[in-house]
Structures are given as C-alpha cells and as structure tokens.
Structure 1
Amino acid sequence: MKNPPLSSENNPPSKHLLDLFRYSRRALELVWTTSRHLALVFAALTLVAGVLPAAVAWIGQLIVDGVVAAIAQHQLTGSADTRAILWLVAAEAGVVALIAGSQRGISTCQALLRALMGQRINLMILEKALTLKLAHFEDSEFYDKLTRARREASTRPLSLVTRTFGLVQNGISLASYGVLLVQFSPWTVLILLAGGIPEFLAEAKFSGDKFRLFRWRSPETRMQMYLETVLAREDYAKEVKLFRLGPKLLQRYRAIFAKLFAEDRKLTLRRDSWGFALGLIGTAAFYGAYGWIALSAIRGDISLGQMTMYLLLFRQGQSAVSASLSAISGMYEDNLYLSNLYEYLEQKVPAVEGELRQGPQPGDGVRFEQVSFSYPGSEEPALQNVSLHLKPGDSLALVGENGSGKTTLIKLLTRLYRPTSGRILLDGLDLQQWNGDALRARIGVIFQDFGRYQFLVGENIGAGDIEHFEDRQRWEQAADMGMAKEFIDKLPQRYDTQLGKWFKNGRELSGGQWQKIALARAFMRTQADILVLDEPTATMDAAAEATIFEHFRELSRGKMTILISHRFSTVRMADQIVVIDKGHLVERGSHEELMKLGGQYAYLFSLQAEGYR
C-alpha cells in the first residue's frame, strides 16, 4: 500500500498554519455548554496547579539556605534556632498537599466531563443522522465520514480541552519559573525553551502523517467492522455456519488487520526514533545548564539553596516545556480528528419540506407527471418520464423485473428521494410543498426489507405511528387489522413480549409472523389514505399472500392502495396494473385489458401460470 497523498483534500485542516487550531474554540464551547460548573472548577484547579510548583522550589531554597545557616550557627555557638526551618517545612508540605489535591480535582473533572461530553457528542451525531436523506445512507463516502466521526471524535473534544488547560497550567508554571530563573541568567530561560523545540517539530509532523493515514483507510476500517458484524450477529450465524464462511471471513479480517498494523508499526517506529534522537538535544541542554549552575555555586556566585532551587526549576521547567510542546502537538492532532466530527455535522442537507398541510384539490389523489429519477453516481435513470394517476378508492399494482424501478417509484412517493425532473402531486399540491408530518400521516408503507426491531411486540407495532407509539388500544386494533392478533395472544406476555435474541427472554418470530407485525404497523396510521405494500409477503406461500392481500383490500376500501408483488394471482386483484421495464412505464390497464393486449404482462402471467400446472 502506498502512503496517502499529502493533499489539501486528504488533510484540509492543515492547509494553513492559522487553521491548525480552528476547532479549539468549538471544543471549549462544548465543554462550557456541557457543564459550566465543572468547566469553572477545572479552570480554577488548573491555575492553582500551575502556580504552586514554583512556590515549592522557592520554599525549598529557603529551607536549604536556612539549614546551611543553622549548621554554621551551631558550629559557632553550639546551638541554633530551627523553628523557622520547621515552619518552612510545614509550609512546603501544605503547598505539596494543595498541588496533590488540585491534580486529583483535575482528574475528577476530566472523568465527569468525559462521560458528559461523550454522551453529548454521540447525541449530536445521532441527531444529525435524523436530518439526513436516504441518499446519504446509500453513499459509501458518507459512511466513511460517519465511521470517522464515531470512532474518534467523541473523545477528542475533551482531549483537546484537557490539553488546552494543561497548556495554560504549564504556561503559568513556566512564567513563574522564568521569574526566578532570570535572576540567575536570562540565557537559562532561552535554553529551557529552545531545548524542547526539535522534539516538538517531530511530534507535529508525525501527528499529521498519522491523521492522513487514518482518513485514507476508512473504507478498510469499515470493512473490518462489517466483518465483525457478520461473524458475531445472529441474523448471519445460520449461513456463516452452513456455508463454512467463518474461517474465510476471519482470514480476511486478519489480513486487513495485518495490513493496517504494518502501516501503524512503520509510523510508530519512525515517530519514536526521531522523537528519541531529537529528545537528546533537550537532555544535553539540561545537563549543560546543570554544569553551569554547579560551577556558579562553587565560585560562590550563588548559595547552595539557590543552586538547589535553580536546578529544580530547570528540571521542572524542562518538563513543563516538554509537556507544553507535547500539548500543542496533541492539540494539533485533536484538531485534525475533530475535523471529522464537524465535517459530518456540517454535512449539507437540502431543505425540501414545505409548510402546507392540504392541497388545493382534495380528493384528486396522486399524480406522477413526467417523473424521472437517477440515483447519485448512476449513469442509467431508474425511472424515466413516468406519468400516472391514482384516485381515492383505486388500487394500483406495479409489475416488473427486479431493478425495473418499482421500489424507486415508492421512494419518490414517500419523499425519501426527490425527482430529478417532473413532479409528484397529492391533492393538486407538489410533494415538495407539503409539510413533512402532514404528508407522512397520509401514507402507510411496508417495504420488503421492513424493520424487525428488538423491542416489545406492542412497540414494534406502535412504530408505525410515533404519535401513538405507546397507545395499547391502538396496538390491539392495528394487530387485529394486520392479522397478527391471533398469534400475539398466544405469546407469554402478549404485547409486552420482548422480540429478538439481543435481550434477555427475547422471542424470535417466524417470517410470516414478522410480516403480520409489519402489516399491523402500517395500520397504526388510521388517517393514512395511501397504503403501500412493497413485496412484504415475498417469503410467504401463494395462498397465504392471497389471504393477506384480500384482507388488506377489504380494510382499505375507499383508500388509494399500491401493491408490488411478483405473484400475478395477487396482482390481478388490482383495479389498475402498471408494467415498468427499465424505468419506463410500458403497459397499463386492468388484468383483462392487459391479457387482451398480449404484451409483456400477458407473457409474464402466462409464464408464471404455466409453472403452477
């Protein structure tokens, strides 16, 4: 695998130096809005922890010089006053205790903020997902954005804030160290700062390389996550075991890991090697200053206590410089990763919802007028110049081969997609001008791949109408209409029975029972006058499907119904049948009319009928 190109497209945040920390303000705002009290305590403890280390060094100097003076006095007079020294020792112990307390408080604030911010950011990611269109979820590049945002961004804001506060703390410490060190020589301050720069430059460089590698290999990381799902989920377990896919998929999982690990190992070795080599410069600077201060004490330019203080200040100052530069490098890296979160959160979503709740021609029904649609990135249109009219009380059946555009037509009707050209009207009003809630209340849909939620039975049905999600009376009414009541009454806890195997005491249903749950879900919307069945009974036998559709037709009299099925014995029940071929509407009419026409429908019907003879 070649290294990812170092272009602005792969790493937009590093395009300009001033952009490196553009997300720091946002991270601080996140902390502030998450918990102002914790943020204020965090800031106060950071200030305390930054000032006090210099005080320890200064008190240490006074203790050493006091001890030296006491020794000299004892040698001359045979006694010495040690009370001042003991008070200084007690004072230093108190300051050290305050430092320990402030550090413990900082750790506590970090732990609490980590939990609060993790939840806050996960909610932001999920809330954004609710605003996205279906096209986003069918786009592989969008899934890469989502994967990157969820993997790292939930922890990076707190890391960025922690490093920011740590930088402030070390900056305060360095300022206080500098005030004391400059009394010895201004050059010591310059040496202190310059010694850590080479290592910092190496860290910053490799942080950028690591981030570019992270972004570039998102598809492979997503494949790893998918393989984990296939190998460890009950809905894949049967085929994985039956077809002995486990070893093959596990081998592929290992191969992806080995490939990614090889890249990580190479980058880690380079990063640590350069970091060690350049870190020796800082070590040399410290020991050069160490010798200088020691010689000054020997010459009598400074006292023994001052020598102890300066050495301690230089050692702590070097640690503070290293920590500060490391924090800056880490902040740079956190900013890079936070770009993933905000790149996802700032995903543009075109506003398509209107405000109108009724059309100018009530009772006109649904009209498709020269509707065409192409999926993003597709060269062939999924639908082309489709026109049809469905009036209240009419039933429409859509017939065609897989991929002909039948389900696409339903997605356009339910406004999951917007037509590329043409328009769809409901009661004389373009769908794009309808209020979203008002439009969705008019439509009840069951797709072939309907959701099988790991919820209670009643909640699975209630999902069809969020306004009545927990309405038990509506559950029972919908279950009765969806032909699910009979088997639900036999379950141990009826509508309170947990479905699926993810949770304790969960019950798994048969395919036919799940389909009846989905049918009941569609009947939750009592106001819906457009009912759509998109092959939800595909796994049922012909007799069971015919029974369900006959029941469905009886309950939906006076409403507009759209049926998609490959079984022509069911399709022939519809008032109007439309044949779609490669996105074109090629035939329409009743069963009898289309059979007389002798076209594609008649051929397919005869072909299927032959199979039952």
Structure 2
Amino acid sequence: MTPMPARRRSPLRASIALSLEADRRATLFTFLTFGLRPTVLILVFYLVKVIVDAAVAHDTATLTAAVTGIALASALAVGSVAYSIEQSVRMIEGTAAVADRRLMTLIGRLPGVSHLEDPAVRDQIEVLRQERVHLSEGGDALSLVLGATVRALFTGVILAMIQPVLLLLPLLAVPPLLATRRAHRRRDEAVGRAAGTARLARHLLAVGSSPAAAKELRLSGLGPQLRARHAAAAEEADRTVTRTVWSNLVATSAASTLFAVGYCAALFLVLYRFDQGQVSLGDVVLTLALVTSVSTQLSQAVQFFGFLQQTLAASRRLLWLEEYAERAARDGGGAVPAARLTDGVRLDGVGFRYPGSDTWVLKDVDLALPAGSVVAVVGANGAGKSTLIKLLAGLHRPTSGRITVDGTDLATVDPDAWHLRTSACFQDFSRLEFSVRHSVGAGSLPHADDDTRVARAVDQGGAADIVAGLPGGLGTRLGRSFDDGVDLSGGEWQRVALARARMRPAPCLLVLDEPTAAIDPLAEDALLSAYVTAARQTVAQARGITLFASHRLSTARLADLIVVVDRGRIAQLGVHDHLMAQPDGIYRDLYERQSRAYT
C-alpha cells in the first residue's frame, strides 16, 4: 500500500471537527456531561467516608448533611442520563451523515477516474468504508476518555491525601494502556493489509445479493460457488486481522497481570495501616472503594482509549484521502477551454497504462480529430476503444504523449471545465433513481427543471414513447428506491441515459461508448443513426466532435472518419468506402463477418 504522507492536521482535531460541524451544541454538551459525570461517583465515595466517620463520632449533623449530599448527587446523575444519551446519539448520527458527505465529496473531487482505479487508493477507500462508523464516534470516544481522565485525577488526589504510596497504583495502569495502544495500532495495520481481500468479499456479497444478478445465478447454479468464494475471501481477510489480535493478547495479558499484583498489594497495605491505627474507618472504606474502582477504571480506560485509537486510525485515513485529493486537484491545469472548437483534437504519441499495471492498453497513438466531425471508433473487444474515449473525455490522463484541444495541452486545462464542454453516454451508464425529469435533467444541471429542454432531450434520446407510457410522465419516479417507483428494462434505462447526454445542446465533445448495447437489435441501428444525425446538427453550433463506438458497424457509414483500433494501436483511418476498398484490412474483415452474421 502507498505510504501515508506527513499529516498537516491532527487526526484528533479532524475527528472532533466532524462532530462540531454536525451539531455543535450536542457535542459540547456531551463533552461536559460525559467529562464530569464520573466525578459524581468519586464524590459519593468521599461522602460515604464522611458518613462512616460521622457515625463513629455520633455527629448527627454531619451525617445528615452527607446523606443529603449523596441523595442530591445521585439524583443529578440519574436525572441527566436520559438527556445526555439523547444528545450523544444526536451527535453520533449527525457526525455519521457529515462523514458520509465528506467521503463522497472527497471521492468526487478526484479528477477523472484513474485515481479510483489505483489499487492503493481503492484500498484506503475500502478501509474507510469498513471503519466509517468510527469516524462518527470521535466526539463520543473523546468525551469518554475525558471522563476517565478526570475520574483518574480525582482518584489520585484523594489517594495521595490518605497515603501517597497509593499513587503508584494508577501508575501501574500505564503499561496496560500502552500495550492496548500498540495492539490497536497493529490491528489497524492488519486491517490495511486485508483491505484488498475484504474488497473482493464485499464485491462477491454485492453480486450474490443483487436482484440484477439473481436470474443468472439461479440458472447457472453459480450461487453455491459464489458463496464459497465469498466465505473464503471473508475468512482470509478475517484471519489476517485475527492473527494479529491473538498475538496482541500476550503483551496485554502481561501488563494486566502486573496491575493485578499491585492492586492486591494496595489492599493489604490499607488493611495493615488500619490495624496499626494510622487511618480512620472512613478512610479505610474510602480507600477500599477507590482502590477497588481503579480496576474498573482501568478496564474502562483501556476500552475508551482503544475506542479512541480506532477513531484516530479512521481519521488518519480520512486525512490521507483529503491530502491525496488536494494533490490530485493541484495536478490539474487551470486553463478554460473555449466554447467552440476551431481546429479540433490531436493525439501525439499517446500511450496509456492503468495504475499498478505494466501492460500498455494504448501505445504510440497519433490521431487528428477535426472540429465539427463525426468520428466512429471500431475494433474488437479489448482493442482499447473505451480507453481512447475516456482519454479524450478527460477521465484519464495519458501515461505518455499528449492530447491537445485547439493546440492547448489537455493536461493544462481545468478538468471540470473540460467536462462541462463534454457530454457522454457510456455502456455502463448510471441508473439514476430520480424522477424522469431529474434523471434526464442531470445531464445539464442548470436546466434540470426546464421541462421544455428535458422533453426535447427525451425525444432526441428515443425515449419519448417510454415517458408517454409512464403514469406521471416526466414526474414519474424511477427505480426500486421508491415505493411508487417504476423500474425500467435495461434498454429503457439506456434510452434515458441517451436522453441525458442530449441535455447539453452544443458540447465540444459528444461521447457515445456503445450507447445502444442494451437496446434490441431491431431498434438499435435506427435509433443510433437518428441520434448521430441529430447530434451532428446540434454540435455544429460549437463545431464539436461527435465520437461514438458501436458494435453495429453499419452505423459507421455515417462517420466522417472511422478509426480502427487493434491491440492498442491505430490500425486504419478513413471513411467507409475507403476502408472497404482495402481487401486485407481489419475494418473490411469485421464488417463482412458482421454482415454475414446478421444475414
């Protein structure tokens, strides 16, 4: 895994900042009540000592005052419990929502998609998702540690007043705390090592529980094997962590044994001094209560500090992702592309490898895409078509070479600004479970509520008949997320995605990557032909480039330029008739084989 960079912010401060952002009042109230509540028990112990000494001395007034004090302290503690817990729960729930939004924001800030395909980044995000609950509990963990610390201080002061040597007892609690801290650090490292396997288990769980995959799993009988693979991956990830946990027990058990020996010694010392008449009966009762409570305090302190360590570990990963996102954003350019193309887009010596891979997906690509043209990208599966399209859309950066837009290196252009000049429909399109209006309107957020523009995009995307058949028209909610939501077929969802890509009326680049793969073959050719023809008319306003990859090669006849990709290189360039005239060309072979198959 990529080593974490030096942290410029404290993980503790960052964790508490999440809680304060979520609900400042609930967070501060939790710190106050959880921090001071443990002192009530110390006060009660002290008042019990007063009661015992007053009873021995027959001091009725002092006895009455001490009993009243215990009653008031207990009533205050009990009466505040419900409200304190309510505020703590509100703080945790609010912090969880803030943490989720922060994680989504940071992932969304990463330019392009290359970062999300980097195994090191994906591992960090996977662990954050697993440990996200600890991000929401930062304020709660700190308030519990604060309360344990305050209680330890008060305990130490009273013990010192009775017998200074008893202060050694809290010091014996330090080794168990240090051992626990080290144990949690080693556990966090083990979780990081197991992140890749845990991510695989999570993927298998998602597939095995997905309604979309249910049909294939049942018909293929793959369910038992999928469950077995999930169990193996989950067990391997768990085993990596469990081995570390068991090895930690040796150190923590030795440190706890040391404290137990000191605890017994303290009890014998108190009883000896009472036998010698050096302390009162009340002092004995108080000392025994405090010394006995130290073991409880230790157990709680170990638990609370371990709780806090888990929170800090999750916070460090969040800070790592924040700093990574900041560096990634700084790596992008700041130039703003023009609203219209003049010359077009060029690729000079472009090569690309995915993060963590030594395999070149594209190599030495030289290509000129004229402004105002319709370009078809064709080739066998795995040839590199989709990668080429993602590079042009600014979703990836070339590993070598450069891409220029009207002579300006795309690496110097603000990625977000170029994305706003681009519109796209991909084969792996998103199924946005909004209303039809907003699922389509998401293609141009400023116009998402403009029903005229949305309706035009729906018509151009070939989805008008689908919307007309829905009970609420554009207002119909899509997907299973809603009780009254309407789920669509794969082809219908893809038409909605095609309509979404038409929301920007004049993009500099319109990308269509297998945009009709889920649509039945009888309608596919007609729909794509009509779509490309309409797109040619609208992108002409910006002299834009329409770039499409389709397995239906008959549609390539519409293109001004056909780019044939083979094994990561540009094998052929030209128009349909020119390429068909080359008897040994890849394009002619693909076209004729497909024609025979359809015939």
Using the size of structure 1 for normalisation, the TM-score is: 0.86
Residues 53 and 495 of structure 1: is their aligned pair in 2 closer, same or farther, counting only changes over 3 Å?
same
Q: Work out the CA distance in 2 between the residues paired with 1:512 and 1:333.
A: 46
Q: Is the 8 A contact 2:11 2:312 kept in 1?
A: yes
Q: Work out the CA distance in 2 between the residues paired with 1:412 and 1:528.
A: 17
Write the letter of the residue equivalent to 1:31.
S
Task: Show the 5 A alignment for 1:305-384.
Answer: 305-347=282-324, 348-350=327-329, 351-358=331-338, 362-384=341-363
- 1:117 matched to 2:102? The reply is no
Q: Work out the CA distance in 2 between the residues paired with 1:472 and 1:209.
A: 57
Q: Work out the CA distance in 2 between the residues paired with 1:68 and 1:431.
A: 89
Rg comparison, structure with higher value: 1
- 1:583 matched to 2:568? The reply is yes
- 1:596 matched to 2:581? The reply is yes
Q: Work out the CA distance in 2 between the residues paired with 1:201 and 1:612.
A: 72
Q: Is the 8 A contact 2:134 2:310 kept in 1?
A: no
Shift of residue 266, structure 1, vs aligned partner:
5.5
Residues 584 and 86 of structure 1: is their aligned pair in 2 closer, same or farther, counting only changes over 3 Å?
same
1:182 aligned counterpart, secondary structure: helix
Shift of residue 219, structure 1, vs aligned partner:
1.7
- 1:38 matched to 2:18? The reply is no
Residues 315 and 565 of structure 1: is their aligned pair in 2 closer, same or farther, counting only changes over 3 Å?
same
Aligned to 2:432: 453
Shift of residue 277, structure 1, vs aligned partner:
6.0
- 1:164 matched to 2:164? The reply is no
Q: Is the 8 A contact 1:367 1:424 kept in 2?
A: yes
Give CA deviations for 1:472-494 in whole Å, capped at 9, x if unaligned: 22221111112211221012222
Aligned to 2:506: 527
Q: Is the 8 A contact 1:22 1:335 kept in 2?
A: no
Q: Work out the CA distance in 2 between the residues paired with 1:10 and 1:417.
A: 20
Residues 411 and 63 of structure 1: is their aligned pair in 2 closer, same or farther, counting only changes over 3 Å?
same
- 1:65 matched to 2:59? The reply is no
2:77 aligned counterpart, secondary structure: helix
Aligned to 2:211: 234
Task: Show the 5 A alignment for 1:28-107.
Answer: 28-70=16-58, 82-101=60-79, 104=82, 106-107=84-85
Shift of residue 275, structure 1, vs aligned partner:
4.8
Q: Is the 8 A contact 2:361 2:384 kept in 1?
A: yes
Residues 377 and 65 of structure 1: is their aligned pair in 2 closer, same or farther, counting only changes over 3 Å?
closer
Shift of residue 126, structure 1, vs aligned partner:
0.5
Write the letter of the residue equivalent to 2:332.
V
Residues 89 and 370 of structure 1: is their aligned pair in 2 closer, same or farther, counting only changes over 3 Å?
same
Q: Is the 8 A contact 2:433 2:481 kept in 1?
A: yes
Q: Is the 8 A contact 2:119 2:355 kept in 1?
A: no
Q: Work out the CA distance in 2 between the residues paired with 1:262 and 1:137.
A: 27
Q: Is the 8 A contact 2:274 2:284 kept in 1?
A: yes
Aligned to 2:192: 215
Residues 382 and 249 of structure 1: is their aligned pair in 2 closer, same or farther, counting only changes over 3 Å?
closer
Q: Is the 8 A contact 2:35 2:144 kept in 1?
A: no
Q: Which of 383-392 and 246-255 deviates more?
A: 383-392
Q: Work out the CA distance in 1 between the residues paired with 2:22 and 2:533.
A: 54
- 1:424 matched to 2:410? The reply is no
Q: Which of 127-136 and 173-182 deviates more?
A: 173-182
Residues 612 and 509 of structure 1: is their aligned pair in 2 closer, same or farther, counting only changes over 3 Å?
same
Q: Work out the CA distance in 2 between the residues paired with 1:554 and 1:275.
A: 72
Give the gaps of 5 or more residues in structure 2.
none
Q: Work out the CA distance in 2 between the residues paired with 1:474 and 1:266.
A: 60
Q: Is the 8 A contact 1:63 1:88 kept in 2?
A: yes
Q: Is the 8 A contact 2:117 2:355 kept in 1?
A: no
2:156 aligned counterpart, secondary structure: helix
Residues 87 and 467 of structure 1: is their aligned pair in 2 closer, same or farther, counting only changes over 3 Å?
same
Q: Work out the CA distance in 2 between the residues paired with 1:64 and 1:85.
A: 8
- 1:137 matched to 2:116? The reply is yes
Aligned to 2:596: 610
Q: Work out the CA distance in 2 between the residues paired with 1:284 and 1:380.
A: 61
Give CA deviations for 1:339-359 in whole Å, capped at 9, x if unaligned: 333223322415324232428
Q: Work out the CA distance in 2 between the residues paired with 1:420 and 1:210.
A: 36
Shift of residue 196, structure 1, vs aligned partner:
2.6
Identity %: 30
Q: Is the 8 A contact 1:364 1:427 kept in 2?
A: yes
Using the size of structure 2 for normalisation, the TM-score is: 0.88
Residues 411 and 292 of structure 1: is their aligned pair in 2 closer, same or farther, counting only changes over 3 Å?
same
Number of positions where the alignment pairs a residue of Structure 1 with one of Structure 2: 587
Q: Work out the CA distance in 2 between the residues paired with 1:57 and 1:553.
A: 83
Residues 255 and 409 of structure 1: is their aligned pair in 2 closer, same or farther, counting only changes over 3 Å?
closer
Question: What's the RMSD between the two structures over aligned residues?
Answer: 3.0
- 1:574 matched to 2:559? The reply is yes
Residues 248 and 276 of structure 1: is their aligned pair in 2 closer, same or farther, counting only changes over 3 Å?
same
- 1:512 matched to 2:491? The reply is yes
Q: Is the 8 A contact 2:374 2:547 kept in 1?
A: yes
1:183 aligned counterpart, secondary structure: helix
Residues 170 and 584 of structure 1: is their aligned pair in 2 closer, same or farther, counting only changes over 3 Å?
closer
Residues 303 and 237 of structure 1: is their aligned pair in 2 closer, same or farther, counting only changes over 3 Å?
same
Q: Is the 8 A contact 2:118 2:356 kept in 1?
A: no
1:134 aligned counterpart, secondary structure: coil
Q: Which of 228-237 and 211-220 deviates more?
A: 211-220
Shift of residue 280, structure 1, vs aligned partner:
4.4
1:169 aligned counterpart, secondary structure: helix
